[in-house]
Amino acid sequence: MAFGKKMSLSRVENPCFLLFLIIFQAIFILILYRGSNSTVYQTSFPLPRPLDYSKTEDVYTNLSLFTPAPDKANMRYCSESPILVGPLAVTFDTLPSEETIISKNPYVQSGGHYSPPHCEARYKTAVIVPHKNHEKHLQHFLYYLHPFLQRQQINYCIYLIHQAGSGPFNRAKLLNVGVREAMKDDDWDCLLLHDVDLIPENDYNVYACDDYFPKQLSTAIDKLYYSFPYWSFFGGVIALTPEHYMKINGFPNTFWDKDGEDDDIAERIAIAGMGIDRVPLYVGHYKMIDYGQAAERVQNLKRPAELNTKKTWRDDGMNSLEYKLLGKKKYRLYVNITVDIGAAPVLPPEGKSKGNKA
Bridge partners of 225, per DSSP, are none
Q: Is residue 14 located within the same domain as residue 63?
A: no
Task: Give a yes or no: residue 192 inside a domain.
Answer: yes
Task: State the pLDDT at residue 80.
Answer: 93
Task: Give a yes or no: residue 207 inside a domain.
Answer: yes
Q: What is the pTM of this model?
A: 0.82
Task: Give a yes or no: residue 225 inside a domain.
Answer: yes
| Residue 344: closest CA among 170, 84, 192, 183 | 170
Task: Give a yes or no: residue 191 inside a domain.
Answer: yes
Q: Is residue 161 located within the same domain as residue 246?
A: yes
Tell me 73's DSSP state. G
Q: Is residue 29 located within the same domain as residue 59?
A: no
Q: In terms of residue numbers, what domain contains 216? A: 49-67+81-340
**Cis ω before 46 (30° cut-off from 0):** no
pLDDT tens across 166-211, in order?
Answer: 888 999 999 999 999 999 999 999 999 999 999 999 999 999 999 9
pLDDT beyond 60 at 40: no
pLDDT tens across 241-258, in order?
Answer: 999 999 999 999 988 766
Element (H, E) at 330: strand 324-330
pLDDT tens across 301-333, in order?
Answer: 444 445 677 777 888 889 999 999 999 999 999
Q: Is residue 88 located within the same domain as residue 27?
A: no
Q: Is residue 211 located within the same domain as residue 271?
A: yes
Task: Give a yes or no: residue 43 inside a domain.
Answer: no
Task: Give a yes or no: residue 134 inside a domain.
Answer: yes
Q: Is residue 15 located within the same domain as residue 54?
A: no
pLDDT beyond 60 at 358: no
Mean pLDDT of the chain: 84
Task: Give a yes or no: residue 208 inside a domain.
Answer: yes
pLDDT beyond 70 at 270: yes
CATH number at residue 163: 3.90.550.10
pLDDT beyond 90 at 16: no
Q: Is residue 30 located within the same domain as residue 88?
A: no
pLDDT beyond 90 at 337: yes
Q: Is residue 122 located within the same domain as residue 191?
A: yes
Task: Give a yes or no: residue 41 inside a domain.
Answer: no
Task: State the pLDDT at residue 180.
Answer: 98
Q: Is residue 217 located within the same domain as residue 271?
A: yes
